[in-house]
């Protein structure tokens, strides 16, 4: 593999940065495999729910699939808690950061905000405002996030629900993460 000529980024040439861009594009090739493996790691992590984190992910994705959501939203439902084990206190933001280069701004925002929106279901048990998410009313994707949490997340902890197997989602994951990301785009935008 070709290497850059510089030791300090400030000294880089256009050719150096072309080399980096090509290598970076190739580096995302194993991403789908890595994420599918991380989902399986979640099978052995116990967060106190009646189902494993993997089962929760499968149920979420199955609900989205059965609701005829577009493929990237089904993948987002599968991946929305992917960072639970590596970033338990900011898992939503971490999952959104992983997805953002490959999905629409709407999908990335929904994943990023789902953790906050989910507080609707439990904040009142801790003496907090269950309607805290309402401060984001007016955002163009507010209702999409409410719907995501209601239809695909909060109801995906059912040990009696028959979720689709991970293998059913694998081709979708591979297609979404095979999209060409625009890694020079502004962090708040994403390639569709």
| pLDDT of 191 higher than 90 | no
HSE on the CB side for 10, CA within 13 Å? 0
How many other β-carbons are positioned within 10 Å of the β-carbon of residue 26? 10
The residue ranking higher by pLDDT, 191 or 82, is 82
What pLDDT, on the 0 to 100 scale, is given for residue 137? Answer: 98
Could you report the per-residue pLDDT of 12-21, keeping only the tens digit for each? 999 999 998 8
In the predicted model, what is the mean pLDDT of residues 63-86?
Answer: 96
Question: Are 134 and 98 spatial neighbours (Cβ–Cβ below 8 Å)?
Answer: no
Could you report the per-residue pLDDT of 153-189, keeping only the tens digit for each? 999 999 999 999 999 999 999 999 999 876 555 444 4
Report residue 125's pLDDT band, with 50, 70 and 90 as the boundaries.
Answer: very high
Q: Does domain 29-177 have CATH number 2.60.120.620?
A: no
| pLDDT of 134 higher than 80 | yes
> Which has the closest alpha carbon to 101: 176, 174, 18, 17?
176
Domain boundaries, the chain: 29-177
H or E element, residue 26: helix 14-27
């Amino acid at each position: 593999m070709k290497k850059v000529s510089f030791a300090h980024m400030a000294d880089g040439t256009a050719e150096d940065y072309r080399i980096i861009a090509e290598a970076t594009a190739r580096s995302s090739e194993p991403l789908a495999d890595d994420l599918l493996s991380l989902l399986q790691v979640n099978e052995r992590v116990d967060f106190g729910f009646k189902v494993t984190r993997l089962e929760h992910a499968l149920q979420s994705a199955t609900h989205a699939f059965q609701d005829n959501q577009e493929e990237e939203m089904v993948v987002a439902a599968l991946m929305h808690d992917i960072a639970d084990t590596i970033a338990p206190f900011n898992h939503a933001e971490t999952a959104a950061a992983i997805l953002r280069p490959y999905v629409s701004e709407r999908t990335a925002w929904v994943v990023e905000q789902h953790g906050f929106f989910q507080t609707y279901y439990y904040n009142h048990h801790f003496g907090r405002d269950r309607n805290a998410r309402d401060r984001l009313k007016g955002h163009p994707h507010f209702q999409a996030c409410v719907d995501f949490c209601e239809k695909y997340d909060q109801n995906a902890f059912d040990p009696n629900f028959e979720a689709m197997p991970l293998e059913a989602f694998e081709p979708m994951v591979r297609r979404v993460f095979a999209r060409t990301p625009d890694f020079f785009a502004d962090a708040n935008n994403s390639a569709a």
